[in-house]
């Protein structure tokens, strides 16, 4: 039978792969940020890099919010709350995340799932903010990952 610790380590391994993918996207985009409206309109390579970044940012934010935060409770042997606000509060109590900052990351994630072809200025600002918030999300994951692995030892 698989133990909770093995499940936790497996979820961390899967999430680590998503982290590596997002870091690759950040390496491609960071030198280009902030981007101009002209860049967004004319640079096909930049558009492809932004698309990859958006997918990877969204995937990682979802993985952390839906699985990794719950894994903290798994290794702490605490029942999952019914509401995501309660889950975030429990993460904040453990000093793993600021609810306010996580909500900004979540809003950026939601913004990246929409296309604003008629408002390139909005797209450029959203991208710049999202690149900054991606770094913050990676820092949150590093804290949570350390917390989980410290408690998931056999």
Q: What is the pTM of this model?
A: 0.92
Which CATH fold topology does 4-151 show?
Answer: 1.20.120
pLDDT at 115 over 90: no
* Confidence band of 19 (pLDDT split at 50, 70, 90): very high
> Within a 10 A sphere around the Cβ of 33, how many other Cβ atoms?
15
């Amino acid at each position: 039978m698989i133990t909770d610790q093995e499940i936790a380590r497996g979820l961390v391994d899967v999430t680590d792969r998503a982290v590596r993918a997002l870091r690759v996207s950040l390496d491609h985009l960071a030198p280009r940020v902030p981007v101009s409206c002209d860049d967004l309109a004319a640079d096909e390579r930049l558009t492809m890099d932004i698309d990859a970044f958006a997918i990877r940012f969204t995937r990682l934010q979802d993985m952390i919010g839906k699985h990794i935060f719950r894994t903290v409770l798994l290794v702490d042997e605490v029942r999952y709350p019914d509401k995501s606000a309660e889950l975030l509060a429990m993460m904040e109590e453990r000093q793993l995340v600021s609810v306010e900052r996580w909500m900004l990351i979540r809003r950026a994630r939601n913004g990246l799932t929409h296309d604003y072809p008629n408002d390139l200025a909005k797209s450029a600002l959203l991208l710049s903010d999202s690149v900054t918030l991606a770094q913050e999300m990676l820092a949150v994951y590093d804290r949570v990952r350390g917390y989980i692995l410290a408690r998931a030892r056999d």
